[in-house]
Chains A and B, each alone.
Chain A
Amino acid sequence: MRQLFHVTPSGWAGLATAAFGILVLPSLANSYWLSVFTSMGCFLLAIAGVAFMYARLGMVSLTQVGLMGVGGWIALRLNYAFDFPFEVNLALAATATMIFGWILALPALRMRGLYLALVTLMAAGGLEILFATFQFPNGGAGFWGVQTGSGAAFRRPWIAQSAQAYLRYVIACALLGFLCIELHRRLQPGRAWALIRRSEAAAMAAGVNVTLYKTWAFGIAGLLGGAAGALLAGSLGLLDDGTFRASESVMIFALAVVGGAHSWQGALVAALLYKVLPALLNIWGVDANLSFVIFGAGLLHAVITAPQGIAGQLLDGLRRLSPKREAKDA
């Protein structure tokens, strides 16, 4: 069990990056970049969920942003309906999204991997329509809670009221998400997942309840996605249905693969590309639609030639620079 708390070099780098994000970054950024980075942090958490599922189990979910929308909706609704502190709303939103995700994925979890991609894509389309029809709660009356004009404020965490503090909060949550995944990986679920990735038949023959572990993995992805959505609601105060279109879910999956689904570095690259690249393109006056082209081409390239993504190629390059290190840490 000493293996459990062993920190790999990559792990130290991750902790260092998180420390930088929490301690240094908020004081460096102006208000525009604070909101971009906070958004990025939320999507980083969601991308972590979708990436690990693909890398560790080969499961494709094309509805992660949709699940973020579900989490955000629930957090908003709870905020206006009750007086719970933010953390309670966050926990409830994340859990409810996890259950909602299970319901969505249920038809596909016992079938071939392809069907999960299909079912989640359909779910993404369905969620897009639901969000466009019912919008997001903003303090209005009734179940859907929508009113014209802005409503009461969204209550942020007690310890994270300012923009800087909230950025720290979001990064800390993202770190927790990664740690949660890593903990799973080092224990029984991780072993079961690795065998499932290799061959579902072999996993069954080894006594692994494949459906249970696939469901568990999808549940984590849903949990992280829901939490990310709630955090986004906290950041923006209100949510817009345009943020949660089916194309966005497809995009972050594509970027998760492009960045590199196997590592936290890859998820970070993906979040950077998703949030920062369009912002940069805007500043440089380049048509934002070209980001679709770039990301799509990146996905094709990654799938064809570089399955470990940009992060994988960078890490490979680093490894080649220091020949002493064996490729032992994953």
Chain B
Amino acid sequence: MLEIEDVTVRFGGVVALSAVSVRFDKPVNGIIGPNGAGKTTLMNVLSGFVRPASGRVSGDGEALLPLAPHRRAHWGLRRSFQKEEIADDLTVFENVLVQIDHSRSPARTKTAEVEAMLTLVGMAERAGKIGAALSGFERRLTDVAKCLVGQPRLVMFDEPAGGMSVDESRQLGALIRQIHGATGAQVLVIDHDVELIRTICEDTLVLDFGRRIAFGPTAEVLDDPRVKAAYLGTEEV
């Protein structure tokens, strides 16, 4: 369960997030909004790359803001960036292994876990392939596998389906829906693909100009006139 309270972020004179409060307790949640709404900034706050001017964030009751970014990862936070960050000179296996390198489990356990998650995403046969030789979709799958190892508690995706075909998008969506069952982790997804959000997210948060303008079951939120106005503009002058 992720609780975000009153988070405000300022970059110089620009207010990127304004007193955003939301509680995510469903397995898969979406964050949508027009460009510049603050979605990635919110995720950066959760990751620890941006320090909010005020506010609190707690995951399963534990305060997250005091933790350094890499310690949040140890806590169980996972982040898949807009551009998949897969090291070119590591193999698929090694790329996933990095995520649990810090843990003190024996090597055999770690190997087993990496292989298990690679099998889940469908990359097990290509485990020895070097990062530079992967296609965009393979990189994204490796990225997902990396997010699943090491008992994740919160997995965040920032526009995971970017640059993918319809089939790949669907495959990815199905995979994301399996995450909670396979690992018990909660999932947050930012995306512009409304169909994807509608299909996989139970609750959705809508941001616009750094403010929360709607939150709740996805179907209701997408039908909310305020949300439509934010995306399409209103007739009012």
A and B touch in the complex (CB under 8 A): yes
Q: Which A positions have Cβ atoms within 8 angstroms of B?
A: 1, 188, 191-192, 194-195, 197-199, 201-210, 328, 330
Contact B86 A198 (CB under 8 A): yes
Contact A192 B98 (CB under 8 A): yes
Q: Give the distance in Å from the alpha carbon of A328 to the alpha carbon of B78 in the complex.
A: 30
Q: Which of B89-97, B169-177, B227-235 contacts A (4 or more CB under 8 A)?
A: B89-97
Residues of A within 8 A of B97 (CB): 191
Residues of B within 8 A of A194 (CB): 87-90, 94
Q: Give the distance in Å from the alpha carbon of A191 to the alpha carbon of B87 in the complex.
A: 9
Contact A195 B85 (CB under 8 A): yes
Interface check B30, CB cutoff 8 A = no
- From residue B185, how far is it (CB to closest CB) to chain A in Å? 15
Question: Contacts A201-B49, A201-B81, A328-B130 known; A208 to B98 CB distance under 8 Å?
Answer: yes
Interface centre among A192, A199, A204, A208 (most CB of B within 10 A): A204
Nearest 3 pairs of A and B residues by beta carbon: A202-B85, A207-B73, A204-B69
Q: Give the distance in Å from the alpha carbon of A205 to the alpha carbon of B98 in the complex.
A: 11
19 A-B pairs in the complex with CB atoms less than 8 angstroms apart: A191-B94, A191-B97, A191-B101, A194-B88, A194-B94, A197-B87, A198-B87, A201-B81, A203-B98, A204-B47, A204-B49, A205-B47, A205-B69, A205-B73, A205-B77, A205-B81, A206-B73, A208-B98, A209-B70
Contact A199 B70 (CB under 8 A): no
Partner pick for B98 among A1, A195, A328, CB 8 A cutoff: A195
Chain A residue at smallest Cβ distance from B100: A207
Partner pick for A204 among B73, B88, B94, CB 8 A cutoff: B73
Q: Give the distance in Å from the alpha carbon of A208 to the alpha carbon of B103 in the complex.
A: 11
Partner pick for A191 among B77, B79, B90, CB 8 A cutoff: B90
Q: Give the distance in Å from the alpha carbon of A197 to the alpha carbon of B86 in the complex.
A: 10
Residues of B within 8 A of A210 (CB): 70
Chain B residue at smallest Cβ distance from A328: B130
Residues of A within 8 A of B49 (CB): 201, 204
Residues of B within 8 A of A199 (CB): 81, 85
Extra contacts besides A191-B94, A191-B97, A204-B49 (20): CB < 8 Å: A1-B107, A191-B101, A194-B90, A194-B94, A195-B95, A195-B98, A198-B86, A199-B85, A204-B47, A204-B68, A205-B47, A205-B73, A206-B73, A206-B99, A207-B74, A207-B99, A207-B100, A209-B68, A209-B102, A328-B130
Interface check B48, CB cutoff 8 A = yes
- From residue B66, how far is it (CB to closest CB) to chain A in Å? 15
